[in-house]
Chains A and B, each alone.
Chain A
Amino acid sequence: MIQIDELHKSYHMGSNELHVLKGINLDIKEGEFVSIMGSSGSGKSTLLNIIGMLDLADKGSYVLDNVPIKNLSEKKAAVYRNKFLGFIFQSFNLINYKNAAENVALPLYYQGISRKIRKEKSLYYLEKVGLADWAHHLPSELSGGQKQRVAIARALASEPKVLLADEPTGALDTKTSYEVMDFLQSINDEGKTILVVTHEPDIADMTKRIVMLKDGRILEDKKVEQIRASQYV
């Protein structure tokens, strides 16, 4: 699903150059559930953003679902993001003047899907994250966990090939974090490929594979025995 070869990324600030990713090699198959760990500043978000086509690599190759991601115009990148990827952010990034259902329907709007089907789908995915009753509430009326569940529903709604989550539980307490992980696990059980960036080892243990970053390189890449979140919920 994802093939990354010798990926490099530097940030330039004035005359300073910060080499963040120094040759990343990563191969992720369909249906995997991968967590990316590492200390702060190790380049986790940078890597995820490149995978998410929100940012561009300087060097190396990146192939997503057999499509080489290179020299994309903004328009093409937008279309690929919409078709292939679902994003979950630490700070939820819901649009504050749209209610839960409208937020979930937004990626479908950009897919050019009809109103009726958008409505059906958004309600379906809200139900899936257990928020059917909250469909017409604004984000400001939801708790953090609920917001993240809306964000997950939104990421799922476009039926992406890969789900990208940058510290999805970073803003949540332990109990809510496990609830969110429980969702992600059930989605992964259905076959969806998921990448999670996290600081928390217990969250990482709920995935199936842990990739450790250090100083822009992969320090360790291991398969783990998945701990089911449902036993804590």
Chain B
Amino acid sequence: MKFIFTRDTWQEIFGAIRKNKMRTAITIIGVFWGILLFIVLQGAAKGMENGFDNAFKGMATNSIFLWGQQTGMPHGGFNRNRSIRLELSDTDRIANQIEGVDFVAPRNARGVFGGAAPLVVNDTKSGSYKVFGDYPIIDKIARKKIRKGRFLNQKDIDENRKICVIGERVLTELFDKDEDPIGQYIKISNVYFQVVGVYKENTTDFFEGDDSVFIPFTTFKKVYNSGNRISWMVIAGYPDEDIVQVETKVKALLKRRYSVHPDDERAFGSANFGEMFGKITGFVKGLKFTALVVGIATILAGVIAIGNILLITVKERTKEIGIRRALGATPGEIRGQIILESVFLTLLAGTLGITTGGVSLRLINSITQNLDDFPFLNPTVSIQYIGMALLIMITLGSLIGLIPAQRAVSVRPIEALREE
């Protein structure tokens, strides 16, 4: 093995490689392309994963939205088409009785699902905006990006404060350009509220957008006379909980409470966010796996191409090999040289591919940096993957080099010399 580390061996190899630059270029292009693809795909998949992770950061992804609808079956003395309205007490009931539930956030809203949006007025300016009555806990479902001031807190709830947090669009439409809204009063459905915060739109919001107003749940109840009813609730399961099972249990509990037939699927509507999120994670996982398979297959094809071209060149070099053997090269030395050529070419191509791949990922990163809506962040390839790719290349390079190497020594020197 020591011949690998001698300068002479490498000089022989460089001599042979330099002799035909075109051949070398064509040889390495396959592996170069393969490793480049491997790196870029792997990095892109990672970037996508990071992007989704970032988008869902600060969000209870393992959660369900649940609301009351109309019954689909007569039951317990009631006709069908009975309207079901969930009540505030249901939240505690669910939180306490259903295993695996982390917390439950009740919500009230005006201006969603086709309802008329309340009028909001600031002096001469006015507009219709969605109004939500919330507990501060809603922030745990989807973190609000607060641009100015603060979000709702427990004191607001306890004291039924008439304060509100407004969206950026509400701000621009109701206030002058450089006006500070914090501390100012606006009229919502003819009741004065003090603005305490401004939030920024979050891509993972489902309803709020940038044109909503948040007020304390308890204040909402008073202003809109909603009593104990709630518009819907968000149920967050613990991170590892099977959210589909939680959903079934919650519905079973509510069916008993509202005397709904156990098989009635219409009485309660729900959106299982955990299930959706699971699909997205599965998609990213699939993407990563596909990238891995495609990358490795391309590298494999590239290495086989190197083997092929080396085989051709070995045929072209039959005479040269014959001369070397007449001058005293042992079959082992000839074989070693050709295998090393193969490994060297593979590694050269691989290094070029890794470098180019790294640069490409940087480029992609800087291009996508300013695209807020595109879930893409820090496309990177772990060092283990690169190490693995290099290891695969060295192994394949030497394995594939065995074929031309064997072919080179299988010709007897006398025949090799006769070759023209």
List residues of A whose CB falls within 8 A of some B CB: 49, 52, 54-55, 74-75, 78-79, 81-83, 87, 89, 93-95, 97-98, 102, 106-107, 109-111, 115, 154, 158
Q: Smallest Cβ distance from B296 to chain A, in angstroms? A: 35
Determine the chain B residues whose CB is within 8 A of the CB of A93 once the complex forms: 319, 322-323, 326, 417
Kindly identify which residue among B8, B16, B18, B409 contacts A74, using a CB–CB cutoff of 8 Å. Answer: B409
Within 8 A of A (CB), among B1-46: 7-8, 12, 15-16, 18-19
> When each residue 116-153 of chain B gets 1 if its CB lies under 8 Å from chain A and 0 otherwise, what string results?
00000000000000000000000000000000000000
Do B417 and A89 touch across chains, with their CB atoms under 8 A apart? yes
Chain B residue contacts of A95, Cβ below 8 A: 320, 323-324
Q: How far is the CB of A228 from chain B (nearest CB, A)?
A: 30
Question: Is the CB–CB distance between B331 and A74 below 8 Å?
Answer: yes
Tell me whether A111 and B328 are in contact (CB under 8 A): yes
- B328 and A82 form a contact (CB under 8 A): yes
Q: Check: B102 CB closer than 8 A to any chain A CB.
A: no
For A79, the chain B residues whose CB sits under 8 A away are 328, 330
**Closest B residue to A97 using CB positions:** B19
What residue in chain B is nearest A106 (Cβ atoms)? B327
Residues of A near B333 (CB, < 8 A) are 110
Interface SS of chain A: helix, strand, loop or mixed?
Answer: helix
Chain B positions within 8 Å of A, measured between CB atoms, are 7-8, 12, 15-16, 18-19, 319-320, 322-333, 409, 412-414, 417
- Measured CB to CB, the closest approach of chain A to B242, in angstroms, equals 67
Give the residues in chain A near B12, CB-CB below 8 Å.
Answer: 109
From the candidates B15, B18, B320, B326, name the one contacting A87 in the complex (CB within 8 A): B326
The reply to whether B8 and A78 form a contact with Cβ atoms under 8 Å apart is no
B320: nearest residue on chain A (CB-CB)? A95
B332 and A54 contact, CB distance less than 8 A: no
A52 to B414, alpha carbons, bound, how many Å?
10
Q: Is the CB of A75 within 8 A of B330?
A: yes
Question: Would you call B15 and A97 a contact (CB within 8 A)?
Answer: yes
By a CB distance below 8 angstroms, the chain A residues around B412 are 54-55
A-side contacts of B19, CB under 8 Å: 97
**Are A81 and B323 in contact, CB atoms less than 8 angstroms apart?**
no
Closest residue on chain A to residue B322 by CB atoms: A93
Say how far B420's CB is from chain A's closest CB, in angstroms.
8
Q: Report how far A55 CA is from B322 CA in the complex, Å.
A: 12
Chain B residue, CB-CB nearest to A55: B414
Residue from the list B7, B323, B328, B413 in contact with A158, Cβ < 8 A: B328
Residues of chain A lying within 8 A (CB to CB) of residue B18: 97
Q: How would you classify the secondary structure of chain B's contact residues: helix, strand, loop or mixed? A: helix
Residues of B within 8 A of A83 (CB): 328
| Complexed CA–CA distance, A55 and B326 (Å) | 11
What are 12 inter-chain pairs, A to B, with CB distance below 8 A? A54-B417, A74-B409, A81-B328, A87-B326, A87-B327, A97-B16, A102-B15, A106-B327, A107-B328, A110-B327, A154-B327, A158-B327
In-complex Cβ contact of B325 among A55, A78, A97, A111 (8 A): A78
Known contacts A49-B414, A89-B417, A93-B319; is-contact A98 B15 (Cβ 8 Å): yes
Bound complex: CA A185 to CA B327 (Å): 22
Give chain A nearest CB distance to B203 CB in angstroms: 61
> Please, which residues of chain A bring their CB within 8 A of the CB of B322?
93
- Indicate if the CB atoms of A109 and B8 lie closer than 8 Å: yes
By the criterion CB–CB under 8 Å, are B8 and A81 in contact?
A: no
> Quick check: A78 and B323 within 8 Å, CB to CB?
no
Taking CB atoms, residues of chain A closer than 8 Å to B417 are 54, 89, 93
**A106 contacts which of B319, B324, B414 (Cβ < 8 Å)?**
B324
Q: Is the pair A107, B327 in contact by a Cβ cutoff of 8 Å? A: yes
Question: Which residues on the A side are within 8 Å of B7 (C-beta)?
Answer: 115
Q: With the chains together, A115 CA to B7 CA distance in Å?
A: 9
Contact B414 A110, beta carbon cutoff 8 Å: no
CB distance from A167 to the nearest CB of B (A): 13
Nearest residue, chain A, Cβ from B333 = A110
Please give, as numbers and ranges, the residues of chain B lying within 8 Å of A98 by CB-CB distance: 15
| Minimum distance in angstroms from B7 CB to a CB of chain A | 7
Q: In the assembled complex, which residues on chain A have CB atoms less than 8 Å from the CB atom of B332?
A: 75
Q: In the complex, which residue of chain A has the Cβ closest to the Cβ of B327?
A: A107
- Smallest CB separation, B24 vs chain A (Å): 13
Whether A74 lies near B330 (C-beta < 8 A) is: yes
The distance from the CB of A214 to the nearest CB of chain B, in whole angstroms, is 23
Q: Are A81 and B326 interface neighbours, CB within 8 A? A: yes
> Are the CB atoms of B329 and A54 closer together than 8 Å?
no
Sample of 17 further A-B pairs with CB below 8 A, known A93-B417, A109-B12: A49-B414, A75-B330, A78-B325, A78-B331, A79-B330, A81-B325, A83-B328, A89-B417, A97-B15, A97-B16, A98-B15, A102-B15, A106-B327, A110-B333, A111-B328, A115-B7, A158-B327
A87 to B331, CA, bound (A): 19
A89–B319 alpha-carbon span in the complex (Å): 13
B324–A54 CB distance below 8 A: no
Once bound together, how far apart are the Cα atoms of A34 and B409, in whole Å?
Answer: 32
Q: Write the chain B residue with the least CB distance to A49.
A: B414
CA distance A111 to B322 in the complex (A): 17
Which residues from chain A contact B320 at a C-beta distance below 8 Å?
95
Residues of A within 8 A of B325 (CB): 78, 81
Which residue of the partner chain, among B15, B331, B409, B414, contacts A54 with CB atoms under 8 Å?
B414
